[in-house]
Structures are given as structure tokens and as C-alpha cells.
């Protein structure tokens, strides 16, 4: 079979009145789409909404800046907390005893937990030696 | 009613006051060609109807950028071809799974279509067309059914006439082989 016999012929038909109604159906679809668009546009053009949008934008920008700032602070704190104590000693040449010298007695007791038992006793002895009143009080208690 | 020219339509569309009237005339002038170009590709009326509407909605939205460098008909046809090609690409993915499941040719829906008036040979021809790659199918459609000149197809698809002739020749050979396998 050769194809020439069917050339230019149309084997399809449309429902009755299809082409008569098609322009109106297309225009209807265009109109409904444009109505939706104009409602969206009108909503955005309303004064209250414009003010609300402006406030929202400023709030978002503000929140963004605040977020960056807080994040930076947290990062700095985190960085410091992650520095190992020993590496600080190596770097600065300060040892534990030098550090204790700069600490108040309460702080020394509080921080005692981070030291070994032996170091802890050493610290308590030092405190007792420096505080004669405390020692006297303890001696009286023992009596 | 005398046929309104492209120039008259464009003159009406140019002005806001007469744009709707001009567009209505444009739809009436080209709806048949656009619809049947798409229908022969997608076969089903409901899909062709939807795509035809989409084509004219796009024309309404984009008519202001038409500068008249080509014929209005060529420009409209190009939009229709793009719409049909986009559909074919979407459909191609879908057809693969459908073929795997039902083992049916997409053209088999013709057997249940009351809006198809062609005979058995015609059905076979349309089924054969479904085996062509999308662009080759369009070229065959425009040349064979719309009897467009290669120069006109070249304007629409932006392809050389040499390439179009070769593509059409291959399409004819494939279809003939499909219809007469021996």
C-alpha cells in the first residue's frame, strides 16, 4: 500500500457545534484567569496590606540580622569552650598553680572537682595553710 | 462572510478597545488548523481540545511581542507545534509504562473513538505515526496532512529544507514498512 491515497484527507471529526463555541470557551478561560490575577493584584494594592507587607519585610530583615549576631556570639563562646585547658597551658606557659593564684578561694573549692584527688588535697592544704582562722576553728571543733 | 486578513486582525489587536474583537477573529480564522494539527498527533479529542485552548491562551498573552517578522500563521503554528511537542514528551514517558502494562499501541484508542471517521488503512497509518519520534511525527503531519510546503515548515520549525526533506522521506519509509511489513 502506498501513502499517496490518503494525503490531505482528514479522518477526524469534532462534536457538533465545537468550532462555533470554541472562541467563547477560550475567552472565558482567559477572563477567569485574568480575574484571578486582578484579585491578587488588588489585594496587594490595598494600603493595609502594603503596610503589613512592609512591616513583615522589616521584621524579617531584623530577625535575620539578630540571628546572624546571636549566632556569631554563640560561635565565639563555643570556640572558647572547645579550647582544651592543657593546650592553653602549653601555649601561655601558665600552670595549674599559677591559675589557682588568680582564683578566689571559693572558686578554688568549686573547681576542685576537675582536679584529681591528690591535686584536690594539695589545694585544700594550701587553703588551710593560708587561713589560720579556719584552721583554729577546725582545731577547736576537734577538741 | 468574507475572510478577514492577518493585517486586519493585527490592526484590531493593536488597540486595547478592539483587542478582544481582533482576537476573536484570529481564533475563528486559525482554530481548525490548530485543532486538527494537534488532534492528528494526540488522537483524542479531549486532549486536542485542551491543547488548542492552551495555544490560543498563549497567543492572547504573547501577541504583544509579535513583531511581524514572520507571517502570523507561521507564528501561531510554531506555538501549536511547541505545545504538541511538549505534550508528546510528557506522553512518551507515560506511554512507556502503559505499553509495558497493557501491551497496546496508543493508536488503538481509535477503535473506540466515535469522532474518528477513517477506514482501517487510516487507522493503521495513524498507529504507524505513533512509532515516529516526536519531531519527525510533526514534520510528517504538516507535510502529509496539511500539505505545507517545505519552506513553510522550515519557517515554523526553524530547520533547513534539506533536513526536512530527509526527515519526511525517512518517516514515509518507516510508515510504509509498518503498514506493509513484507
Is the pLDDT score of B161 beyond 90?
A: yes
**How many CA atoms, within 13 angstroms, populate the side-chain half-sphere of residue A101?**
5
Has residue A61 been placed in a domain? yes
Q: A11-59, pLDDT tens digit by residue?
A: 888 999 999 999 999 999 999 887 777 666 666 566 666 777 788 888 8
pLDDT digits (tens, 9 = 90+) for A62-113: 888 887 777 776 656 555 555 555 555 566 666 655 655 555 555 555 544 5
A77 and A90 together in one domain: no
Q: How far is A54 from chain B (nearest CA, A)?
A: 31
Domain membership of residue A23 (yes or no) is yes
List the single residue in B27, B36, B176 with the smallest CB-CB distance to A12. Answer: B36
Widest pairwise Cα distance in chain A? 130
Residue A3 lies in a domain: no
CATH of domain B6-179: 1.10.1740.10
Query: Are both A103 and A73 inside the same structural domain?
Result: no
Please check whether residues A23 and A75 belong to one and the same domain: yes
* ipTM for this model: 0.79
CA neighbor of B174 nearest in space, from B146, B149, B140: B140
Q: Give pLDDT, residue B126.
A: 83
Shared domain for A76 and A95, answered yes or no, is no
B126 touches chain A (CB under 8 A): yes
CA distance A72 to chain B (A): 49
Tell me the pTM: 0.61
The answer to whether B178 faces chain A, any CB pair under 8 Å, is no
The reply to whether A90 and A75 lie within a common domain is: no
- Contact (CB<8Å) B145/A19: no
C-alpha cell at A89: 597551658
- Least Cα distance to B130 among B94, B182, B76, B162 occurs for B94
- For residue A2, tell me if it sits in a domain: no
Q: How far apart are CA B53 and CA A29, in angstroms?
A: 8
All residues of chain B having their beta carbon less than 8 Å from the beta carbon of residue A23 are 24, 27-28, 31
Number of structural domains, chain A? Answer: 2
- The answer, for A3 touching chain B at a CB cutoff of 8 Å, is yes
Residue A28 counted as domain residue: yes
How far does B85 lie from chain A, in Å, by closest CA?
Answer: 20
DSSP reduced 3-state for A8:
coil
Phi then psi for residue A53, to 5 deg, are -65, -40
Query: Closest partner residue to A13 among B27, B56, B115, by Cβ?
Result: B115
pLDDT at residue B123, as a whole number: 80
Residue numbers of the domain that contains A57? 18-81
For residue A33, being part of any structural domain is answered with yes
Amino acid at each position: 500500500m502506498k501513502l499517496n491515497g490518503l494525503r490531505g484527507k482528514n479522518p477526524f471529526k469534532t462534536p457538533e457545534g465545537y468550532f462555533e463555541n470554541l472562541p467563547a470557551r477560550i475567552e472565558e478561560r482567559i477572563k477567569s484567569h485574568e480575574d484571578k490575577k486582578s484579585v491578587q493584584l488588588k489585594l496587594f494594592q490595598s494600603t493595609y496590606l502594603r503596610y503589613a507587607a512592609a512591616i513583615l519585610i522589616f521584621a524579617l530583615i531584623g530577625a535575620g540580622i539578630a540571628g546572624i549576631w546571636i549566632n556569631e556570639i554563640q560561635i565565639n563562646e563555643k570556640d572558647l569552650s572547645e579550647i582544651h585547658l592543657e593546650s592553653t597551658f602549653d601555649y601561655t606557659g601558665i600552670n595549674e598553680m599559677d591559675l589557682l593564684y588568680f582564683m578566689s578561694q571559693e572558686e578554688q573549692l568549686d573547681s576542685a572537682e576537675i582536679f584529681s584527688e591528690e591535686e584536690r588535697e594539695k589545694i585544700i592544704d594550701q587553703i588551710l595553710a593560708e587561713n589560720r582562722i579556719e584552721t583554729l576553728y577546725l582545731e577547736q571543733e576537734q577538741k | 462572510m468574507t475572510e478577514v486578513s492577518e493585517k486586519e486582525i493585527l490592526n484590531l489587536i493593536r488597540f486595547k478597545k478592539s483587542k478582544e474583537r481582533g482576537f476573536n477573529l484570529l481564533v475563528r480564522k486559525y482554530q481548525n488548523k490548530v485543532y486538527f494539527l494537534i488532534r492528528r498527533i494526540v488522537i483524542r479529542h479531549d486532549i486536542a481540545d485542551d491543547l488548542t485552548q492552551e495555544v490560543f491562551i498563549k497567543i492572547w498573552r504573547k501577541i504583544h511581542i509579535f513583531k511581524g517578522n514572520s507571517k502570523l500563521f507561521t507564528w501561531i503554528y510554531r506555538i501549536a507545534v511547541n505545545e504538541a511537542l511538549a505534550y508528546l514528551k510528557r506522553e512518551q514517558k507515560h506511554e512507556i509504562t502503559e505499553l509495558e502494562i497493557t501491551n497496546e499501541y496508543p493508536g488503538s484508542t481509535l477503535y473506540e473513538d466515535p469522532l474518528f471517521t477513517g477506514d482501517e488503512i487510516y487507522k493503521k497509518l495513524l498507529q504507524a505515526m505513533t512509532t515516529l519520534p516526536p519531531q519527525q511525527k510533526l514534520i510528517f503531519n504538516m507535510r502529509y496532512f496539511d500539505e505545507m510546503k517545505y519552506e513553510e515548515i522550515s519557517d515554523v520549525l526553524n530547520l533547513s529544507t534539506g533536513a526536512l526533506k530527509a526527515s519526511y522521506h525517512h518517516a514515509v519509509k518507516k510508515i510504509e514498512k509498518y503498514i506493509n511489513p513484507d
